[in-house]
Structure 1
Amino acid sequence: MPTASPSETVGRYDKQPTVPLPADARVLTGADGWAAAAEVATARAAGRAPLLAVDAYPGADLPLIKDAIAAALPDWTVVDVEDAAALPIEVINDRIADNLTDDRVFGVLSHANVTAFYDTERLDKLAVEADGDDRPLVLVGWGADLVARRTGAPYALVLADMARWEIQLRQRDGATNWRAQNPAEDRLRKYKRGFFVEWRAADRHKRTMFDRVDFVLDANAIGAAHADPRPAGMVTGDAFRAAVAGAAQRPFRVVPFFDPGVWGGQWMKEKLDLDPSQPNYAWCFDCVPEENSLLLEDADGAVVEIPSLDLVFTQPKALLGERTYARFGAEFPIRFDFLDTMGGGNLSLQVHPLTDYIQQTFGMHYTQDESYYLLDAGDDAVVYLGVKDGVDRDAMLEDLRAAETGERPFEAEKYVNAFPAKKHDHFLIPAGTIHSSGANSMVLEISATPFIFTFKLWDWGRVGLDGIPRPVHLDHGERNLVWERDTAWTESNLVDQGELIARIGDTVEERTGLHELEFIEVRRHWFSDEVLHDTEGTVNVLNLVEGDEVEVASPTGAFAPYTVHYAETFIVPAAVGPYLIRRSARSRSDRFGTVKASVRGTRTGEA
């Protein structure tokens, strides 16, 4: 359905959305934060020497944190628990070798806890020493809480938290994995070690602290790689808990991040007001809570950055809904991101693993089903999807292997369907389906969250931005390609599957997907003034795909109206229930469109 051009929205896309802290909460910076933490520890000591534990997420700049503590609390002794009790890196490497595998990209999900990285006897010895020390003491490092709890003494607890995107940026600049001597290692291998091992153990550990933490420190701002310079802020545990609880009761956005790529385009630079000096932007992770952040903002405009996963971990039922939480646990199952090839190149030809394969091979409990929603498209845009009728499987695999070795290019059009793609088309891509977005497309990718499990089959002969050939996984891909998804099946099941649900005046509701094999339901709404929605007990993820600006409002006034601009992805927690999306007072558009994703079978009243 044609609508007004969003050209007037240039520059209005909010790249730093915030979540409010309680009205009386303030971000403490510098020595003020450490003084407040020391005051709590001293009050709690009740005549003993005060004890402060600063538990730092792996990836935090521990030397800078220790320097800040020493400068702010010169009379306190600072003990690095990592130096004192961590296992030698060679022992750790042996313990996690099976999880890391020899593959450059894929490992096996670890179920280790933080204690797997420490010498238990040395932890116990350190606790005895800390308990017997008559000086004010600060225990610092990942696992500091382990030692403090072992003392049996009262203490104050600070969580120095980190978002995964900031960790990745630091690793690209030469930072190592936790205590690993790998500054020059391939960044994909660094990421693999974090994704499959370190971050899993670290998340399990910090989930034990959320109810007890006295302060949360923004470790993203200490030694930041590319974040906007800001003082390292700290908020009380009560303010942190109130902010995330409040976020689970109203619409919000996570902080998007953008990254260039070999196939990257120019659309986001113009439409989303990004740095024009960059050669391209390939990705925008606009709703990937495993990696995105939340900015907690006080009444004075000061912010503290926390991982958006903290909200998922602490408020899973309110955020996800009881049925979705029962199905996925404290994990956000829906991902929205942008793939920009406008003026760029084709994505890699790829396939995602089938559910049984990802469970048996990588330890993930669900797979990366997805879809491409065309936010914009050039006249020549295509989506590669499904094998052509009558394809010779052995011949195709032989040609793919020849292309991988550089013997000859792979003739994708010989084997794979290329469907013309236009703005607002929606292509469905259940796992096991060969696919790729062609050049001159702006894709809103709506998918399940396991987002690194892409088996590249052909990458058009390119190398990565680092000059290294991007990894191709033909062996994995061959085991997961569903060859029966040929032209006829793809046309009948994955292309042009829109279905009219309701039309009331000029308001239209359509079902655009996904395929019955996928767990995500997507509805599109066209409207001029307002549309009434209801979460029906499960989290909703939406994007304003047409129109300049709308408000999300509560029919009962349960939350303040929330402004959303063109192309912004926003989350409506399950706890919200009924909500309105309506034109804002400043809007100049005639027509609006949203796409909304939710988890099938989890809405109230659904069987």
Structure 2
Amino acid sequence: MTTFDKYPTVIVSENEKDVWEGSKHIVKQLKTVALDHNLIAIECYPGIDVKKLYHDVIQPLNADETIYAADLFYNNHTITEMIESNLTEDDVFGTFSPHSLEEFLDDKKVKAVKEKLKSNQKKNIIIYGMGASLFSNESLLIYVDIARWEIQQRLQRGMPNWRTNNQDEQISRKMKRSYFFEWPLADRLKKALLNQVDFWIDGNDIENLKLISKEKYLQGLSQVVSQPFRLVPFFAPGVWGGEWMREKFDLDKDEVNFAWSFNGVPAENSIHLQYGDCKIEIPANNVVFYYPTELLGNKVYGRFGREFPIRFNFLDTIKGQNLSLQVHPTTEYAHEEFGAHYTQDESYYILHAEEDAIVYLGLKENIENEEMIKELEEAEVGNKDFDDEKFINRMRIKKHDHYSIPGGTIHSQGKNSVVLEISSTPNIYTFKLWDWGRVDLDGKPRPIHLHHGLESIQWTRDENWVKEHLSSPNQLIAEGEGWYEEKTGLHELEFIETRRHWFSTIVYHETHDSVNVLNLVEGEEAIVESINGEFEPFVVHYAETFIIPEHIKEYSIRPHGPSEGKTIATIKAFVRV
């Protein structure tokens, strides 16, 4: 029976005071507080089901007038023209939009609404939708929020992007518009509103909305950064997906497979906050936005701003297939082409491997670059299969190996292994060079990004270079009775440091002036404890990823429950500062 907790929760309060579940209770509470306000502004993150929100909450409030904020912006065609250079012609990749939401307002419409608001100060008016807060002034401000993973699910089911009618557009283009335009736009606004919002609405479950007061919400964020915590993992199928996570984590038996699990990515994952019997789901990014120094540490915050720079996720190919042959950009290329501040440097920590498991890493010795490029180009148009055995270095792998993959290094995970991917946060800059001639789960060819890939390949990273620089060093750092600490990676080109601890007794940790992200990679159960009593003991199970806020500084971990008396292991990642 699995011990992996798929729905981790941060306990905030024993009671539900100032938390309201269900649209009827939300409407009742808002009617009470609205008596002191002529104007209610209901700001929405892009991806909120505004029609459902209107039907269940806004209409029953019986305001004298309602204004849909989306109607005050330019039309779809005009907005798309304004961000054309950010969206680009590519199906997947764009450049980050530097715009603010105000730039897309139609001045004539805004003037008319402001005059209406000024002349009807005795009327009860509700303005709602993305951009409503731009007209809030002294109004009651409510923010309806949603996690990015839920947004992605809705886009796949046919939801259009903000201010578009692109219901039927391919998902990669809808995701590109979200990633490079809508989310940066909405996040800039959200950061500015954090201290102004009076009530938050959890909009992840459209059939069961939940309202929470500002005070209770901030109490929840504060509780998160006062202790170790876990994010709510999500699992997704893929053409190369496997069966290990389904068995280990007791996942849906009817799903085709499980290729991915994002379980340590605040930009994508959510956090569950528990108030009595009511559970509020919030985007984990909100904790990063509100408490960056407490969570990240001063030095990491100073370097990355309000952005979580470390990513943990699983890749499962047990009884599955190879990942695509791919390469990530160098930092220089990512910055010049896409406006990104850093690239997707990564590593593969082998959590499980069958006897035939391999990784593809780097190039073979003395290959002809032009010959390989020609073969990739011919494979891209379907003239022939790419001869990976001729050009790409293969390595047999075993459990607990750890391979660094700095940007510019050709790589792929082979079938029959499970990888804990420990990486820097950008997760969209994967340039597929060859995908073994297959189609995706939807029956369509997976996009190849040969132009970007060939510009990114570092041709000197051949078999010898890989053996010298990217294989597990397993360098002993420190040891004591019942424990020892190893350095397992990453390469000096990457800003993440990883340390593995093997221990059968208590072992003490420092945060190293950085947020720590850990995973229990060996053993059934461990317990994380405070050195000075600042947080309650925190139990983790095999393969669970957990986060230690930087301000905790010191903590201990020891085997617990069924693992007492046994040797277990954690892998820890932090930013080199």
Q: TM-score range by the shorter chain?
A: over 0.9
Answering whether residue 125 of structure 2 is matched by residue 137 of structure 1, we say yes
Alignment correspondent of 2:139: 155
| CA offset digits 1:11-41 (Å, max 9, x no partner) | 2211111123344554302222233234333
The one-letter amino acid paired with 2:434 is: W
Specify the code of the residue in structure 1 equivalent to 2:330.
L
Distance 1:273 1:257 in 2: 13
Cα 1:256/1:203, change in 2 over 3 Å: same
Shift of 1:588: 6.1
Unaligned 5+ runs, structure 1? 1-9, 224-230, 602-607
Residue 375 of structure 2 corresponds to: 399
1 CA distance for matches of 2:63 and 2:105? 28
CA distance in 1, matches of 2:8, 2:132: 32
| Aligned counterpart, 1:263 | 240
Deviations 1:494-536, CA, capped at 9 Å, x for gaps: 0132101122122010000000010000000011122111213
Tell me if structure 1 keeps the 8 A contact 2:63–2:126. Answer: no
Q: 1:272 aligns with which of 249, 252, 258?
A: 249
For 2:99, the equivalent position in structure 1 comes to 112
- In structure 1, the residue matched to 2:10 is 19
- Any idea what the Cα deviations from partners look like across 1:442-484, whole Å, max 9, x if unmatched? 0000000011100000100111111111111111111111011
Question: Which has the higher mean CA deviation after the structures are superposed, 512-521 or 502-511?
Answer: 502-511
Q: CA offset at residue 327 of structure 1?
A: 0.4
Question: Secondary structure of 1:115's partner?
Answer: helix
Give the residue type in structure 2 aligned to 1:33. Answer: I
Q: Is the 8 A contact 1:376 1:441 kept in 2?
A: yes
Identify the match of residue 79 of structure 2 among 92, 114, 121.
92
Q: Secondary structure at the match of 2:193?
A: coil
Aligned twin of 1:228: none
CA contact under 8 A between 1:35 and 1:72: conserved in structure 2?
Answer: no
Residues 591 and 76 from structure 1, CA distance in 2 versus in 1: closer, same or farther, beyond 3 angstroms? farther
Query: Aligned in 2, Cα 1:131/1:553: closer, same or farther, shift over 3 Å?
Result: farther
- Secondary structure (helix, strand or coil) at the match of 2:66 reads strand
Q: Once structures 1 and 2 are overlaid, which stretch shifts more, 373-382 or 533-542?
A: 533-542
Aligned equivalents of 1:257 and 1:589: distance in 2?
A: 32
- For residue 20 of structure 2, the aligned residue among 7, 28, 48 is 28
Residue 430 of structure 1, CA deviation = 0.6
One-letter code aligned to 1:74:
N
Structure 2 equivalent of residue 213 of structure 1? 197
- State the distance in 2 between where 1:163 and 1:463 align: 29
> Distance between the aligned counterparts of 2:9 and 2:236, measured in 1?
21
| Counterpart residue type for residue 520 of structure 2 | L
Q: 2:210 aligns with which of 233, 237, 245?
A: 233
Give the Cα–Cα distance (whole angstroms) in 1 for the partners of residues 251 and 506 of structure 2: 30
CA displacement at 1:128 relative to structure 2: 2.5
Q: Give the counterpart of 2:55 among 43, 56, 67.
A: 67
- The answer (yes or no) to whether the contact 2:200–2:212 under 8 Å persists in 1 is yes
The alpha carbon displacement at 1:590 in A equals 1.8
Q: Give TM-score scaled by structure 2 length.
A: 0.97
Letter in 1 for 2:570: T
Q: How does 1:377-416 map to 2 (within 5 A)?
A: 377-416=353-392
Where 1:145 maps in the other structure, the secondary structure is: helix
Moved over 3 A (4+): 22-26, 585-589
1:455-474 pair list within 5 angstroms: 455-474=431-450
Q: Tell me the CA shift for residue 94 of structure 1.
A: 0.4
| Residue 30 (structure 2) aligns with | 37
Q: How many residues align?
A: 574
Q: How far apart, in 2, do the equivalents of 1:496 and 1:298 lie? A: 44
- Quick check: 1:60–1:161 contact (8 Å CA) kept in 2? yes
1:586 Cα deviation from its structure 2 partner = 5.0
Structure 1 residue 589: Cα displacement: 7.2
Aligned-partner residue type, residue 11 of structure 1: T
Aligned mate of 2:312, from 336, 347, 355: 336
Given that residues 124 and 147 in structure 1 are in contact (C-alpha distance below 8 angstroms), is that contact kept between their aligned partners in structure 2? no
Shift in Å, 1:124: 3.4
Aligned position for 1:354: 330
- Equivalent residue of 1:42, what SS? helix
Spell out the pairing of 1:117-128 with structure 2 (5 A cutoff). 117-128=104-115
**C-alpha contact (below 8 Å) 2:41/2:132 kept by paired residues:** yes
- Please tell me the root mean square deviation across aligned C-alpha atoms, in Å: 1.4
Deviation per residue, 1:197-218 (Å, 9 max, x gap): 0111011011111101111101
* Structure 1 counterpart of 2:12, one-letter code: L
Counterpart CA distance in 1 for 2:347 and 2:416 is 17
Instruction: Give the partner amino acid of 1:69.
Output: V
Which of 271, 275, 283 is the aligned partner of 1:294? 271
| Mapped pair 1:51 → 2:39 | yes
Read off the aligned partner of 1:90 and give its amino acid letter. H
**After superposition, where does 1:291-330 map in structure 2 within 5 Å?**
291-300=268-277, 302-330=278-306
Partner of 1:183: 167
Rounded Cα–Cα distance in structure 1 between residues aligned with 2:295 and 2:31: 34
What do the CA deviations read for 1:411-430 (whole angstroms, capped 9, x no partner)? 11211110100000001101
CA apart distance, 1:410: 0.9
Q: Which of 551, 560, 563 is equivalent to 2:539? A: 563
After TM superposition, give the deviation of residue 343 of structure 1 in Å: 0.6
Q: Distance in 1 between matches of 2:118 and 2:473?
A: 66
Partners of 2:536 and 2:514 lie apart in 1 by 21
CA distance in 2, matches of 1:479, 1:503: 44
* Matching residue within 130, 148, 155 for 1:171: 155
Q: Tell me the residue number matched to 1:604.
A: none
Q: Is the 8 A contact 2:472 2:489 kept in 1?
A: no
User: Compared with structure 1, are the counterparts of its residues 589 and 143 closer, same or farther at alpha carbon in structure 2 (3 Å cutoff)?
Assistant: farther
Deviations 1:370-394 (A, max 9, x none): 0000000000000100101101000
Deviation at 1:78, TM superposition (A): 2.5
Query: In the aligned structure 1, how far is the partner of 2:88 from the partner of 2:10?
Result: 39
Residue identity opposite 1:282 in structure 2: A
Which residue type is aligned with residue 104 of structure 2? F
Q: Deviations over 1:147-185 (max 9, x none)?
A: 122xxxx22111001111111101111110012111111
**Aligned position for 1:78:** 66
- SS of aligned partner of 1:286: strand
Distance (whole Å) between structure 2 residues aligned to residue 258 and residue 589 of structure 1: 33
Per-residue deviation, 1:123: 2.2
Question: Equivalents in 1 of 2:115, 2:190: separation in Å?
Answer: 23
Structure 1 CA distance for aligned equivalents of residues 547 and 227 of structure 2: 9
- Aligned-partner residue type, residue 146 of structure 1: L
